[in-house]
Every structure is written in structure tokens, then in C-alpha cells.
């Protein structure tokens, strides 16, 4: 089995058995994102305790890439610190914008390295990033300090 096949297996596995799917409470931030070019949609919630991402829950419809990506995101973000989650988000976004030339770090990105090949296809990049954009947006809501009047 070559690397491309292995990566496809990983994506298919997350698509068939999504980790952490479903919307849960409590949560402090929620985001709804749509990728009209493919028809992918996601609603994602973030529960933050102190500086830890205590839970990421989501409901989504769409293609295998977008659904698998949300599942991988759940695994990477849940239980990590907000800071680590944001640095992985940045790393994954950079990988997705690499047009197939990026070198993924399996240490930090784990199963997300399986999306390396996806970065060659601009249309699919949007699918892969949808859940992560929702996560970023929800996290902003979750960690925003109320402004004193
Ligand atoms: Zn898609």
C-alpha cells in the first residue's frame, strides 16, 4: 500500500466512523459554516474549561473530505490547550494552502497529514478547511472576554 492509498484509508475511516459527532452541551462558542461550491455544511460547538478545549461537538452534512476533516479536528483539538489547538489550526491551514508541496508533521497533525494530497485540489481544500474555520470562529466566541460598557 503506498502513501496515497494509506491516506485515503484514513480519510475513509474518519468519514465512516466520525469521532465525536453530534452537538453537545455545555458550550461557549458555536459557529455555522457553509461551503456552497460543494454543498458542505457544519455547525460546530466548542466547550472551553480554563485554557483547555474540553469538547468539540458538531453536526455536518457534505462530502467525505469535509466530514472526515471534522472528525480529525475533533481528535486533535479535544483535550488540548487553546494555544496548541490554534497552532495546529495554523499548521493545517498552511498545509492545505501548500498546493501539494507541504510537508506535514505527523507528530503534531496526526491523522490530519492524510489531507496532504487534498491540498493539490483547490476545490477540495475548501472542504477540508470548513470544519477548522468553524472551530476557529467558535473558539473566538468561546474565549472572547465581555467588554465592559
Ligand atoms: Zn466538500
In a domain, 57, yes or no: yes
In a domain, 131, yes or no: yes
Measured distance CA(84)–CA(91) in Å, rounded:
10
pTM: 0.93
Overall domain count for the chain: 1
Cα(37) to ligand 1 centroid in Å equals 8
Cα(14) to ligand 1 centroid in Å equals 14
In this structure, what CATH number is given to the domain that contains residue 29? 3.90.1010.10
1-23 residue pLDDT tens = 677 888 999 999 999 999 999 99
In a domain, 94, yes or no: yes
Residue with more model confidence, 44 or 104: 44
Cα(124) to ligand 1 centroid in Å equals 6
Arithmetic mean of pLDDT, 56-81 = 97
In a domain, 23, yes or no: yes
Cα(48) to ligand 1 centroid in Å equals 28
Q: How many CB atoms lie within 10 A of CB 3?
A: 11
Cα(118) to ligand 1 centroid in Å equals 11
Query: Percentage of the chain with pLDDT > 70?
Result: 96
In a domain, 27, yes or no: yes
Which residues lie closer than 8 Å to 61 by C-beta, 6 or more apart? 39, 40, 41
Cα(47) to ligand 1 centroid in Å equals 26
Give residue 8's domain range. 3-137
102-111 residue pLDDT tens = 888 899 999 9
Amino acid at each position: 500500500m503506498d502513501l496515497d492509498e494509506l491516506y485515503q484509508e484514513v480519510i475513509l475511516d474518519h468519514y465512516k466512523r466520525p469521532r465525536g459527532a453530534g452537538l453537545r452541551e455545555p458550550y461557549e462558542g458555536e459557529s455555522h459554516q457553509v461551503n456552497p461550491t460543494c454543498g458542505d455544511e457544519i455547525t460546530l460547538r466548542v466547550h472551553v474549561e480554563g485554557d483547555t478545549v474540553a469538547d468539540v461537538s458538531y453536526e455536518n452534512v457534505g462530502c467525505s473530505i469535509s466530514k472526515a476533516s471534522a472528525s480529525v479536528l475533533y481528535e486533535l483539538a479535544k483535550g488540548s490547550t487553546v494555544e496548541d489547538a490554534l497552532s495546529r489550526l495554523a499548521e493545517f491551514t498552511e498545509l492545505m494552502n501548500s498546493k501539494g508541496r507541504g510537508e506535514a508533521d505527523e507528530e503534531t497533525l496526526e491523522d490530519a497529514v492524510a489531507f496532504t494530497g487534498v491540498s493539490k485540489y483547490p476545490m477540495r481544500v475548501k472542504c477540508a478547511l470548513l470544519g477548522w474555520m468553524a472551530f476557529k470562529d467558535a473558539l473566538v466566541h468561546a474565549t472572547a472576554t465581555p467588554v465592559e460598557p
